[in-house]
């Protein structure tokens, strides 16, 4: 058990963080690194060599034997190539060495990573380059060095490079605005992110008996158990001992590598849980969320669990998302989305809010694309997650402020309120200026926006790249206008009013789950891109390409490449699911159902010979045989249609969405009907009741 005084020592103990650098580097090298971070200046080779030697010595003292450039290719997961520190020293001896050149640059083979056409398969050379803004750490006996990943010609092949570009651009444009308000002290604005991570835990032994879980991450078959989440007793409920032990172990492992794991609790569905960190800079938050997902799976394995990060592992109960809390803060500690005590009079806050509202309205399709995936299609709009329609929730007070600006009226704040509980011994509770709206895709929660549409298993880089870039674009337009102003205060008020007036359609404070909202959103002209197949063509629209290119986040080729990769990933996901479904039907479900039918027939014959009534056996055998034939026919149709998938990726995406998914739904319905009548001992794999209540 960790003593309270030991936790600060444990936290970051496997991270080559700023404190460790200060201890192990010369003052000159430490200051050079600080200047590199603050002013975005490259390090000289001598400094890089000293940092490399200090890193190596520190890592070796902690038992590391290898180092790896840890990067994030466009697979959505991380990648590593490990090299040992050993160097020949003559006479059959070795020394442990690590140079500045090895720290700063690596050269992994790039041929087998997705590129979306940025390079041909035979163009194998790729480069990794150290990101000095993200701390190195030790994992599994290797020193892991966070890096960017690019092609031989310098095109970004990863998720970190464009994120860093977007952070630079939103900082640059934010500073322009701050200077107009007289802020001469802030030199940088940092996008701050806190991703809440939902996940399922299932028993490893049961998991290994489910081919669909192992190959696709979700159950392709299965009926709801008699009890699911109806009693609402799992949410924030007492942790079961086995889960509590897992979470304790998980926290300690995350703390060692500097992940600010703060909150843990049961989520809505049985076997579903959540981990939430403290906010940090977007780059570190993205790195740490990737690391957290990996560690969650490893720790689960130690405890006899499997951690499922699929957006919808089980039909019929809530799936898992990842709420992305995003804000902007200056390097002097000012949160630019904090309204203050009088938001109606805080012009700087209102201008940043106006930029956000305008950006989300103008680029709603771009934001929708960043959360589009085959897994997330099962969640969005399913009364458990926000709808696929992008809108912004501001809360009563802030909405009233915006309305007063649009209408040209004075806003009279209602002041701070307290909630009276009605029990004398309890104190009153200060009331926030906004409630939570879990049905909103983009909810203002006091000093940040919560982007609630992300899927559990996805990298958070894409959504945050989009948020940063959209905000940078709008701030740039505002700065271009206001820097030319001859009457700043007057033009500022006009700009804020015009922006809120022109883009008020994106603000919606109601129930996003209500069917009436779909009709209302259509009247407002908001996009309703229901599925990934609907959304992804927008990724490479002229407007969205211009957004990223004009803000130096992607080249046009890089945007198109990512659009192509998203399509390829969607297609591959559905195709793997279809093949897995066909395999399980042929090799597991149909033989089991047939065996059960035969057993019923044998039992009926024996009972009839003994003069016993056999109506149950006869009826059940007949019903099972009919359902078996129905499933076989559904599987045959799926196979026949699957053979016709077009070669063109875009056409294939539409075909898979329209035809193959429907065939899979039909096959699942037939199988689930069989599961409902086949004796449990004959069913070939664990059912939902076993999986969901296996903790």
Q: Report DSSP letters for 528-577, one per residue.
A: B--SHHHHGGGGG-HHHHHHHHHTTS--HHHHHHHHHHHHHHHHHHHHHH
pLDDT > 70 fraction of the chain, expressed in percent and rounded:
94
Inform me whether the pLDDT recorded for 418 exceeds 60: no
Q: What is the pTM of this model?
A: 0.94
Annotate 58-71 with DSSP letters as a single string.
HHHHTT--EEEEEB
pLDDT tens digits along 94-147: 778 888 888 888 877 666 787 887 766 556 668 899 999 999 999 999 999 999
Inform me whether the pLDDT recorded for 544 exceeds 50: yes
Q: Are 314 and 691 in contact (CB under 8 A)?
A: yes
Q: Are 291 and 151 in contact (CB under 8 A)?
A: no
Tokens for 522?
Answer: 């259509």
Inform me whether the pLDDT recorded for 44 exceeds 90: no
Average pLDDT over residues 184-210: 97
Q: How far does CA 515 lie from the centroid of its chain? A: 27
Tokens for 190?
Answer: 């940092």
Three-class SS state of 423? coil
Largest CA distance in the chain: 104
pLDDT > 90 fraction of the chain, expressed in percent and rounded:
76
> How many Cα neighbours within 13 Å face the side chain of 409?
9
pLDDT tens digits along 614-633: 899 999 999 999 999 999 99
Q: Give, in order, the Cα–Cα distances in Å from 367 to each of 165, 360, 454, 535, 592.
A: 18, 8, 10, 10, 45
Three-class SS state of 189? strand
pLDDT tens digits along 285-340: 999 999 999 999 999 999 999 999 999 999 999 999 999 999 999 999 999 999 88
Query: What confidence tier does 432 reach under pLDDT thresholds 50, 70, 90?
Result: low
Tokens for 231?
Answer: 């009693």
Tokens for 452?
Answer: 């609630």
Average pLDDT over residues 432-461: 87
Q: Are 43 and 105 in contact (CB under 8 A)?
A: no
- Report the distance separating Cα 86 and Cα 91, nearest Å: 14
- Report the distance separating Cα 291 and Cα 136, nearest Å: 12
pLDDT tens digits along 378-416: 999 877 888 999 999 999 888 998 999 999 887 776 655
Strand partners, 199: 273
Q: Where are the beta strands (DSSP E) in 115-236?
A: 126-130, 136-139, 142-151, 189-195, 197-203
Tokens for 332?
Answer: 């002097």
Tokens for 441?
Answer: 């895709």
Strand partners, 106: 128
Q: At what angle do helices 615-642 and 661-675 cross, to 10 degrees?
A: 160
Q: How far does CA 667 lie from the centroid of its chain? A: 30
Backbone angles phi, psi at 273, to 5 degrees: -145, 175
Q: What's residue 120's pLDDT?
A: 63
pLDDT tens digits along 469-524: 999 999 999 999 999 999 999 999 999 999 999 999 999 999 988 889 999 999 99
- Report the distance separating Cα 243 and Cα 249, nearest Å: 10
- Report the distance separating Cα 597 and Cα 622, nearest Å: 8
């Amino acid at each position: 058990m960790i003593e309270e005084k030991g936790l600060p020592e444990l936290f970051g103990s496997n991270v080559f963080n700023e404190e460790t650098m200060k201890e192990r580097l010369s003052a000159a090298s430490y200051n050079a690194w600080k200047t590199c971070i603050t002013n975005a200046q490259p390090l000289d080779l001598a400094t890089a060599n000293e940092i490399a030697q200090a890193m190596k010595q520190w890592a070796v003292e902690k038992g590391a034997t290898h180092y790896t450039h840890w990067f994030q290719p466009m697979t959505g997961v991380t990648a590593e190539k490990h090299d040992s520190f050993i160097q020949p020293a003559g006479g059959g001896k070795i020394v442990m060495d690590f140079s500045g050149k090895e720290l700063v640059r690596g050269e992994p083979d790039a041929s087998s990573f997705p590129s979306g056409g940025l390079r041909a398969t035979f163009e194998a050379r790729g480069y990794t380059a150290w990101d000095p803004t993200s701390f190195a750490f030790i994992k599994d006996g290797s020193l892991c060095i966070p890096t960017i990943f690019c092609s031989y010609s310098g095109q970004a092949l990863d998720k970190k490079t464009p994120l860093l570009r977007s952070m630079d651009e939103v900082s640059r444009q934010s500073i322009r605005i701050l200077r107009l308000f007289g802020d001469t002290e802030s030199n940088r604005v940092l996008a701050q992110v806190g991703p809440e991570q939902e996940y399922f835990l299932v028993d490893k032994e049961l998991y290994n008996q489910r081919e669909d879980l192992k190959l696709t991450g979700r159950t392709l078959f299965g009926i709801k158990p008699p009890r699911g989440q109806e009693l609402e007793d799992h949410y924030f409920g007492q942790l079961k001992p086995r889960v509590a032990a897992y979470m304790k172990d998980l926290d300690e492992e995350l703390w060692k590598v500097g992940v600010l794991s703060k909150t843990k609790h049961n989520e809505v569905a049985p076997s579903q849980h959540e981990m939430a960190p403290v906010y940090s800079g977007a780059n570190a938050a993205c790195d740490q969320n990737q690391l957290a997902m990996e560690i969650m799976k490893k720790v689960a394995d130690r405890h006899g669990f499997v951690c499922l990060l699929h957006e919808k592992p089980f039909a019929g109960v809530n799936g898992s998302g990842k709420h992305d809390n995003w804000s902007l803060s200056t390097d002097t500690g000012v949160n630019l989305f904090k309204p203050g005590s009088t938001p109606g009079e805080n012009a700087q806050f209102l201008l940043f809010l106006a930029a956000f509202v305008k950006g989300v309205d103008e680029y709603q399709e771009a934001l929708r694309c960043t959360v589009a995936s085959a897994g997330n299609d099962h969640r969005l709009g399913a009364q458990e997650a926000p709808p696929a329609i992008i809108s912004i929730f501001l809360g009563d007070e802030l909405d009233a402020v915006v309305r007063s600006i649009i209408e040209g009226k004075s806003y009279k704040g209602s002041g701070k309120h307290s909630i009276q509980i009605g029990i004398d011994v309890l104190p009153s509770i200060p009331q926030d200026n906004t409630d939570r709206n879990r049905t909103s895709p983009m909810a203002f929660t006091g000093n940040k926006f919560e982007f609630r549409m992300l899927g559990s298993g996805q990298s958070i880089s894409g959504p945050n790249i989009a948020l940063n870039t959209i905000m940078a674009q709008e701030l740039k337009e505002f700065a271009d206008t206001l820097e030319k102003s001859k009457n700043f205060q007057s033009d500022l008020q006009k700009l804020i009013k015009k922006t809120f007036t022109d883009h008020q359609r994106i603000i919606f404070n109601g129930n996003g789950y209500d069917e009436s909202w779909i009709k209302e959103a259509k009247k407002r002209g908001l996009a309703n891109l229901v599925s990934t197949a609907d959304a992804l063509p927008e990724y490479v629209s002229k407007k969205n390409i211009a957004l990223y290119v004009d803000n130096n986040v992607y080249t046009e080729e890089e945007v198109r490449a990512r659009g192509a990769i998203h399509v390829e990933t969607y297609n591959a996901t559905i195709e793997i699911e279809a093949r897995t479904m066909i395999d399980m039907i042929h090799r597991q479900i149909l033989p089991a159902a047939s065996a059960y039918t035969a057993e019923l027939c044998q039992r009926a014959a024996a009972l009839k010979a003994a003069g016993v009534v056999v109506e149950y056996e006869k009826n059940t055998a007949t019903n099972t045989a009919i359902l078996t034939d129905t499933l076989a026919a559904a599987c045959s149709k799926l196979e026949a249609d699957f053979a016709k998938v077009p070669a063109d990726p875009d056409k294939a995406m539409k075909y898979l969405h329209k035809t193959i998914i429907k065939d899979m739904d039909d096959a699942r319905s037939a199988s689930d009907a069989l599961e409902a009548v086949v004796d449990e001992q004959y069913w070939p794999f664990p059912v939902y009741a076993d999986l969901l209540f296996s903790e």
